[in-house]
A and B are shown apart, each in its own frame.
Chain A
Amino acid sequence: MSDAEESPTFEPAAPNTGDEFEPVDVFPDSDDFDLRPGADSCYKCSTCDTNCPVAEVDDDFPGPKFQGPEQWRLKQTDDDYTVDDSIMSCSNCMRCDNACPSGVPLSQMHNTARGEYVSEQMDTLSVEYVRNRILANYRTSAFLASKVPRLANVAMNFGPARWLMEKTLGVTRERDFPEFATQTFREWWADRGGADASRRNARERRERRGEPTDGEKKVAYFHGCYSNYNTPEVGKAMVRVYEHFGYEVVAPEQRCSGTPMFANGMLADARRHAEVNVSSMSDLVEEGYDAVASCTSCSMALRQEYPELFDIDGIEEVAANTFEALEYLRINEDLTGAVREAEVSGDLAREFAYHAPCHARNQGLDRQAVELFRDLEGAGIEDVGESCSGISGTYGWKEEKYEKSMEIGEEMFEHMAHAEGEVGMTECPTCAMQMEHGSGYEIRHPLELLEAALVE
């Protein structure tokens, strides 16, 4: 065959960004997806492996290329085809998703394989399973602790108890448990008058801003567990900042986003929580609300992991209408302009060492805080680099992973030490734990600084 006889029109193939990959729903009533076709996008360049923070420090971890496209391609659908146990060493930072130049659905492959491993191959009586289940269900522990926060704060960091926890459960005693707030965000929210109060505040603000009072500015706040039980100041800041821009906030019924459950392969737990979240959020989305999260892993879960892993009514709509709190304002308001005109004084008039969480990076949000606050008078912000903090939620809490977690974090700690500021900043609660643990700095959330700058 002569190529010269062919028509000369050249139609370059569109680059593969992975947007078109849609796993087939194999069994309509379950969440079993056949992910083998995702391996078609992999051309083995190994960029995922070189970006994997775990592979860098753990020589026994074969890396995302093996865990994802290679393992899925080698796997058959027979029931007796097992998932390699190394999947449990993946920290679910999802940096491989971001690294892949070809749109391989890596984290979806890892999450699915891990779920399969845990439900089919893991001994549910093993210490590892019990420990992981407890860590993954942080919300349950936090819920109980929040009933007696003062007692919990003492007990959870009581030396002998922690020694016992490490020996029996494999939860590292190197770390301090986060403190539980004496008043949760939701308690504050209810005391304050809930959605009605927010509606009044928002209308008032809109009037003062010269915006139509009947405007459709309304968001459903996904505060997640940590802002509720541990750092209600972040949740409060979110509400006040949003009301400042005239948004009515509601705080619908919600459970854990599922992030720690995905990372531990507890997909049944995650699904149960996701069903509640999707159900309450999808009703609101239908009414014109957008979902806004202040934790970048929560927004990641709702946006990406939910539709990738579950088939729940309304899930696509929720995913498409979920945003991170700063991101949403940067899209819909002149946030940069407002910050440029503002000045911050008092407690938060500081230099901040900012770390972008991996999950923020995956949503394209890794520069938002730095770009926003560099124009803010009275405060300074410096990016401490693009490394992973190393904690990855529950990963760094596991006794056998603690050392590796700290090794991954080393680069960030070093950059924090070199940064001018001595207060840290990040959107992610567990990154914040790691930053605090490695540097001794106090860590704040961008919403807190925004509140200090904008809300009088």
Chain B
Amino acid sequence: MASTPHIAVLGGGSTGAGIARDLAMRGLDVTLLEQGNLTHGTTGRMHGLLHSGGRYAVSDQASATECIEENRVLRDIASHCVEMTGGLFVKRPEDSEAYFEAKLQGCADCGIPAEVVSGEEARAMEPHLAKDVDKAISVPDGAVDPFRLVVANAASAQEHGARIETHSKVTDLLVEDGEIVGVEVEHASGPGKRVHGTEGGTEEIRADYVVNATGAWAGRIGDMADLDIAVRPSKGVMTIMNIRQVDTVINRCKPKGDADIIVPHETTAILGTTDEEVEDPEDYPEEQWEVDMMIDTLSELVPMLQEARTIRSFWGVRPLYEPPDVGSTDPTDITRDFFLLDHEDRDGMPGMTSIVGGKFTTYRMMGEQISDHVCGKFGIDATCRTAAEPLPGSEDFSVLRDYMDEFGLRSPIGRRSVERLGSRADEVLQTDRPNPTVCECEGVTRAEVQDAITQSGSDLNAVRIRTRATMGNCQGGICSHRLANELHREYDQHVVRQAWDELLQERWKGQRHALWGEQLSQAALNYSLHATTQNRDHDPADGDPVDFAAFDDGVDHTGGSGGADVAADGGRHGD
């Protein structure tokens, strides 16, 4: 082969990032294109369960077997993204005994370590479980942070030479002589890291091969070359609780149903979910009854959820796919397996393969298979190394450190920071500069925020998914402006303001579905703070440039006031 093939991977979710890493590690030239931030689509909108396979052990044993294999791989290569919480399949008195037995047998069949625990033992593990829970099956479920995982995959891909473009929407597939030869991309703010206000533009990216890993958006990409990819997007709601009511993944041991899982996720617990087919992955109703129903149903397992504080809810769309001849009517019946659609074999259009269906836990395996497929096209015989080589951040590290001695951080903040950063902790947290806590709810310090900014430009939502800043109980009420402030010096006022506005909008979006009780109090306080100290209930100050020289710039070191002869309230000194 004359030159290294260039592969355009579309979609910056777990699948796309996993494929990009794999191909880049095998030495191919890779460009990853994502229309929003990494994890913008379904990956950023899931409950973060690292499947043991237990959920599929009765209905879909092939998937279950894949899950337990990949579960073991991810614990190893992505240790800083994974928390091995363990999981329980909980049986209530009214749930079927036969199904409980089938689940246990299914786990055995698929090689999933499973053990029956009595109701009492289950409550000793999880004191907030309902008193009348009969018994449970314990399995190696875990929790995984999808943001961190995708960011680490993209970072690894980048280390291996890949080009990562976020906020770059594919607007067309380039077709020449009946073959897909590249894509047309609309950059929101120019290529490279996102900086608000940078002029965007269109770019034609020619590629030797295109991989369409856009999940629920795969059909749209297909349409650009008249390919029919019948993805059946199905929405599911997830609700985030302020604290962890459980430290183990709690599944309801029932054949299928809505609202049957609670995943402890970082400082929170995520309730999931529903399954309802929608037409458009970007435009579907988000309804309050879905949230209410979920809290009610899951309260049967953990009664305190009924009264507990919810901080936000969000909806994700599963990119379900089934071959057109199956014809399931209920989306819960659609397989969670994934499909490689080689458009040359399928539609007579060479140059692109789409990957559809599948699930988060097996993203790496999907990446491996499609990378094999792509390498096959170019006759490249390179082995996959993604199952053995740890992700950046997951090299050997220990969370047991003397946080105050080593980083000058109070222990819970140091602990959280090291858990998030993994083996990158020393590089990021050891700083000679002052390192105050920026986000108090999640214990995120300036050093970690600055590290994220160097990775992602002026985009504060990208900082958010890297650090968890603004993801705690005040939802950015107390720290958004501090985060915005961290952009300053490198970025000027109007860039900072846009980034800040965008972050606040994103934070409000999910809180709309949590406005009762304590979170309503929180929202009211946030509103008051933002209105009274940031002028957010008035005209935004981003119209005419603000004449900062008109303000007093404080007392200089000689003791006199510096700058203009005006007081901060606009009056003259001495008024």
Q: Do A and B bind each other?
A: yes
Q: Is the CB of B243 within 8 A of A74?
A: no
Once the chains bind, are A16 and B400 in contact (CB under 8 Å)?
A: no
Contact A43 B521 (CB under 8 A): yes
Q: How far is the CA of A36 from the CA of B268 in the complex (A)?
A: 10
B34 at the interface (CB under 8 A from A): no
A84 touching B412 in the complex, CB below 8 Å, given contacts A44-B474, A44-B522, A73-B242 = yes
CB distance from B248 to the nearest CB of A (A): 10
Q: Are A42 and B473 in contact (CB under 8 A)?
A: yes
B window 403-419: CB within 8 A of A: 404, 410-413, 415-416
B284 to chain A, nearest CB (A): 12
A65 and B416 CA atoms in complex are apart in Å by 17
In the complex, what's the smallest C-beta–C-beta distance from B268 to chain A, in angstroms? Answer: 9
The reply on A178 being an interface residue by CB < 8 A is no
Contacts of B530 in A (CB 8 A): none
Is A13's CB within 8 Å of the partner chain B? yes
Q: Which of B23-31, B422-430, B446-454, B512-520 contacts A (4 or more CB under 8 A)?
A: B512-520
Say yes or no for A320: interface residue by CB 8 A criterion: no
Interface residues of A in 255-278 (CB under 8 A from B): none
Separation of A192 and B404 alpha carbons in the complex (Å): 58
Chain A residue contacts of B415, Cβ below 8 A? 74, 81-82
Q: Please report the C-alpha to C-alpha distance between residue A77 and residue B404 in the assembled complex, in whole angstroms.
A: 21
Cβ distance A94 to chain B, nearest Cβ, rounded Å: 22
Task: Check if A44 sits within 8 Å of B412, measured CB to CB.
Answer: no
Contact of B410 among A24, A37, A62 (CB under 8 A): A62
When the two chains form their complex, are residues B525 and A45 in contact, meaning their CB atoms are under 8 A apart? yes
Q: List the B residue with the shortest CB-CB distance to A21.
A: B307
Known: A37-B243, A42-B473, A73-B267. A102 touches B521 (CB 8 A): yes
Q: What CA separation (Å) do A435 and B285 show in the bound complex?
A: 65
- In the complex formed, the residue of B with least CB distance to A44 is B474
> Which residues of A have CB within 8 Å of B518?
16, 40-41, 43, 102
Cβ contacts under 8 Å, B287 to chain A: 1
Assembled-state Cα–Cα distance A82/B404 (Å): 12
| Chain B residues bordering chain A, tally (CB within 8 A) | 42
Query: Which chain A residue lies CB-closest to B85?
Result: A76
CB of B237, distance to nearest CB on chain A (Å): 13
Which chain B residues border A43 with CB–CB below 8 Å? 473-474, 518, 521-522, 525
Selected from A13, A26, A75, the residue in CB contact (under 8 A) with B127 is: A26
What's the minimum C-beta distance from A266 to chain B, rounded to whole angstroms? 21
Which B-chain residue is minimally distant from A78 (CB atoms)? Answer: B247
Chain A residues, Cβ within 8 Å of B300: none
Docked Cα-Cα span, A401 to B443, in Å, equals 28
Which chain B positions have C-beta within 8 A of A40?
242-243, 308-309, 473, 518
A39-B242, A81-B412, A82-B415 known; A44-B304 Cβ under 8 A: no
Interface majority SS on B: helix, strand, loop or mixed? loop
Indicate whether B76 reaches chain A with its CB closer than 8 angstroms. no
Distance of A1 from chain B, by nearest CB (Å): 5
Closest partner residue, chain A, to B525 (CB atom): A43
Please determine whether A44 and B478 come into contact, CB atoms closer than 8 angstroms: yes
**What's the minimum C-beta distance from A11 to chain B, rounded to whole angstroms?**
10
B373 proximal to A (CB < 8 A):
no
Question: Which residues from chain B contact A82 at a C-beta distance below 8 Å?
Answer: 411-412, 415
User: Do B411 and A83 touch (CB < 8 A)?
Assistant: yes
**Does B221 sit within 8 A of A, measured CB to CB?**
no
From B307, which residue of chain A is reached at the shortest CB distance? A20
Interface residues on A, range: 35 or more
Q: Kindly supply a per-residue 1/0 record for chain B positions 281-317, scoring 1 wherever the CB is within 8 Å of any chain A CB and 0 otherwise.
A: 0000111100000000000000010011100000000
Checking A25, A62, A73 against B473 with a beta-carbon cut-off of 8 angstroms, the contacting residue is A73
**How far is it, in angstroms, between the C-alpha of A41 and the C-alpha of B309 when the chains are bound?**
8
Report the bound CA distance from A439 to B516 in whole Å. 51
Q: What's the minimum C-beta distance from A100 to chain B, rounded to whole angstroms?
A: 12
**CB-based contact B412/A74 at 8 Å:** yes
B477 at the interface (CB under 8 A from A): yes
A86 adjacent to chain B (CB < 8 Å) = yes
Bound Cα distance from A65 to B474, whole angstroms: 13
When distances are taken between beta carbons in the complex, the residues of chain B under 8 Å from A102 are 518, 521
Whether A24 lies near B127 (C-beta < 8 A) is: yes
Q: Do residues B520 and A44 form an inter-chain contact, with CB atoms below 8 A?
A: no
Shortest Cβ gap from A265 to chain B (Å): 16
- Verify if B441 is at the interface (C-beta below 8 Å from A): yes
When the two chains form their complex, are residues A76 and B247 in contact, meaning their CB atoms are under 8 A apart? yes
Contact of B243 among A1, A39, A80, A85 (CB under 8 A): A39
Contact: B441 with A70, CB < 8 Å?
yes
Interface members, chain B 209-258 (any A CB < 8 Å): 242-245, 247
> Which of A13, A25, A26, A75 interacts with B412 by CB under 8 Å?
A75
Assess whether A84 is in contact with B411, with CB atoms less than 8 Å apart: yes
Q: State which of A71, A73, A81, A84 has its C-beta within 8 Å of the C-beta of B472.
A: A73
Asked if B440 is at the interface (CB within 8 A of a chain A CB), the reply is: yes
The answer to the question of B481 belonging to the interface, with a C-beta cut-off of 8 Å to chain A, is no
Distance from B49 Cβ to chain A, minimum over Cβ atoms (Å): 18
B residues less than 8 Å from A25 (CB atoms): 127
B410, B473, B520: the one contacting A39 at CB < 8 Å is B473
**Any chain B CB within 8 A of the CB of A34?**
yes
Contacts of A189 in B (CB 8 A): none
Q: Are A36 and B244 touching (Cβ within 8 A)?
A: yes
Residues of chain B within 8 A (CB-CB) of A84 are: 410-412
Listed A/B pairs (24) with beta-carbon separation below 8 Å: A1-B286, A1-B288, A13-B517, A24-B304, A25-B127, A27-B127, A34-B127, A37-B304, A40-B242, A41-B309, A43-B518, A43-B525, A44-B440, A44-B477, A66-B410, A70-B412, A70-B441, A71-B412, A73-B243, A74-B267, A74-B413, A84-B411, A85-B411, A102-B521
Q: A13-B516, A34-B127 are in contact. List 4 more A-B contacts (CB 8 A).
A: A73-B472, A80-B400, A84-B410, A84-B411
Smallest CB-CB A-B distances: 9 pairs: A40-B309, A74-B412, A43-B522, A84-B410, A36-B243, A84-B411, A26-B127, A44-B474, A82-B411
